[in-house]
Structure 1
Amino acid sequence: MDTNTYKNIVTVIRKHKGLSKDCMSILTEIFPNIKSDTLYSIVSLEYQKRMKMNHIKSQTNINKYWDLYQQAVKNRQSPGIILKIAEQFDICPCLIAKLILQKYFEDLNLIEQINNYLRDTSLIPDAELSYEVFLCTVYDNLYSPLSETMKHSLGQEYEIKLHNEVRKLNLAFRDEEQLRKYGYDKTPDVKLDVPVAIDGFVINWIESKALFGDEEVHREYTRNQYLSYWNRFGPGLVIYWFGFPKSILQTDDKRFIIKDHLPTDMVHINYTG
């Protein structure tokens, strides 16, 4: 992705205060030519950074959130109370809901079960609170149990997509499960049995990421994963399926190349044993 376009998207996100769902609606209107998966991934990454800062403050404000919730219930405000608190304090709804549940169950010694109540809100004894938390799981497209399941499913979907595309190219390879049988703890999604060349760069492995690879994400994955792959298997290919800013590209990097798809114009290397 063009660096200026990426910066413009990030600017819109950082100026928006409130629910990520509303931010997505704004972005799709402003950037109609950018895929929704790409926009969602950038929103998710930016909100995660924001939540890391805001969540520290929110832990100290737990009593304030609880008092605001109780007062709103007492005043018979319409449903969506926790959503309004989340929007007011710029915290994702499910994170606020967890804090309010933590306060609600404080005297019942059930804090360890809060995630279970978030997954199945019908288990919450208080009917009003149950519905309020349910609304949070519906409107929070980043931290709800459903969104977490969807992220995991999306990652698996693109791993399967990679495997299928590699097979179509008639490339012999081993996947993570097969590599772990050989004792490797950190493994790429695909380890090629015979290297191939892409744009003159020889690759031995391919890693699939179903997200947008911003600079922070790329730096973290490089440190925690890619360098290990390079040390063990040599140079490889990293695919950020939802794009990346051009600023992360380093033309002189001999460890791996970065793409947003699997190139088909590969040069096969003859292997004689």
Structure 2
Amino acid sequence: MSMKAELFKEIVTFIKEYKGLTFYCLDELEKLYPSVSKDALASILSYEFQSKMRAVYSKSQQARNKYWEAYNKGMKAKEDGVILRISKDEGIAPCLIAKLILLEYLERSKKVEDENVLQTVNRYLKNTSLIPDGDLAVEVFMCTVFDNLYSPAADVIRHATGQQYEIQLHKEVTKLNLAFRDEEYLRRWGYDKTPDIKLEVPISIDGFLVNWIESKGLFGSEKVHREYTESQYLSYWNRFGPGLVIYWFGYVETIIDPNNKSFLIRDHMPTDIITIGNK
């Protein structure tokens, strides 16, 4: 389903102005926009917040000592959820703040060699019971629970979601009795950038020729669509001709260009198709 540009801008504005954890921001979005699917809202939130984090996180690394001192001050005051509070105050994801504090903790304690610090931090985030300091372990664990964008669990869910919709696409294309080659097959033949599906026989959808299909388990905003067009879709078009892009969580109406002859955009796999060459 396409989303009106005005509604999309309203959602983005709310996300940018929200003061607090993204965990709760998603709850607020669901209450404010009940007509929009949770998947679409979560996808928009994820992209907008991660764009913000890319801009501020490099600067935040310079403030590691400040976060470390704030953490220790909170612990001495026997405050619960110190890192979560710092995250909210600074507008930075809990697990990113936790990562910086863990880096400072390891460097100050000299518990591991310098070249192994980042590996150790990532291991601690995945399994907080390995952190030698029990209080810090509890604090970091709370971050992994309340961070729905940067926690190890969030990474797994994102990857699983992408795979889930690729599998769904395969099932629907198979149900339509369409012969195709998948991404793995194409890579074995030397293609570095490949769509999820390359049809063996082209199909027609609403009079538009389709040679390939790309599945995206996310919401198609203008920025998302522009990035994927430049990094993927145009390459597919150059190699295989026109195709179909599916944004399973919907898309903003402004990405539809009636003059675009490179690919169609849908939020589902169309069933009203014509196989080219069939009578």
TM-score tier after normalising by the smaller chain length: over 0.9
1:170 paired residue number: 177
Residue aligned with 2:203, SS:
strand
Residue aligned with 1:205, SS:
strand
* Unpaired runs of at least 5, structure 2: none
Q: Structure 1 stretch 124-133 or stretch 99-108: which is displaced more?
A: 99-108
1:227 is displaced (CA, Å) by 1.1
Residue 251 (1) aligns with residue 258 (2): yes
The CA distance in 2 between the partners of 1:15 and 1:222, in whole Å, is: 29
Structure 1 counterpart of 2:6, one-letter code: N
Residue aligned with 1:230, SS:
helix
Q: What do the CA deviations read for 1:204-241 (whole angstroms, capped 9, x no partner)?
A: 00000001111111111111111111111000000111
* Unpaired runs of at least 5, structure 1: none
The CA distance in 1 between the partners of 2:136 and 2:189, in whole Å, is: 50
Q: Structure 1 stretch 45-54 or stretch 143-152: which is displaced more?
A: 45-54
The CA distance in 1 between the partners of 2:149 and 2:201, in whole Å, is: 39
Q: How is 1:141-220 mapped onto 2 (pairs within 5 angstroms)?
A: 141-220=148-227
Q: What do the CA deviations read for 1:147-194 (whole angstroms, capped 9, x no partner)?
A: 000000000000000000001111111101111222211110000011
1:5 pairs with 4, 7, 26, which one? 7
1:228 paired residue number: 235
Q: What do the CA deviations read for 1:85-112 (whole angstroms, capped 9, x no partner)?
A: 0000000000000000000001333412
Residue 136 (1) aligns with residue 137 (2): no
**TM-score for the superposition, normalised by structure 2:** 0.95
Q: What do the CA deviations read for 1:104-145 (whole angstroms, capped 9, x no partner)?
A: 001333412110100000000000000000000000000000
2:70 pairs with 62, 68, 85, which one? 68
2:103 paired residue number: 102
The CA distance in 1 between the partners of 2:55 and 2:231, in whole Å, is: 23
Please provide the CA RMSD for this pair. 1.2
Structure 1 counterpart of 2:71, one-letter code: Y
Structure 2 counterpart of 1:249, one-letter code: I
The CA distance in 2 between the partners of 1:53 and 1:233, in whole Å, is: 36
1:119 paired residue number: 126
The CA distance in 2 between the partners of 1:111 and 1:214, in whole Å, is: 37
Tell me the number of residue pairs that the alignment of Structure 1 and Structure 2 aligns: 271
Residue 241 (1) aligns with residue 242 (2): no
Runs of 4+ deviating beyond 2 Å: 107-110
1:56 is displaced (CA, Å) by 2.4
1:265 is displaced (CA, Å) by 0.8
The CA distance in 1 between the partners of 2:164 and 2:146, in whole Å, is: 24
1:30 paired residue number: 32
Task: State the percentage of identical aligned residues.
Answer: 55
**TM-score for the superposition, normalised by structure 1:** 0.97
1:49 paired residue number: 51
Structure 1 counterpart of 2:92, one-letter code: I
Structure 1 counterpart of 2:188, one-letter code: K
The CA distance in 2 between the partners of 1:227 and 1:72, in whole Å, is: 51
The CA distance in 2 between the partners of 1:256 and 1:190, in whole Å, is: 14
The CA distance in 1 between the partners of 2:146 and 2:188, in whole Å, is: 42
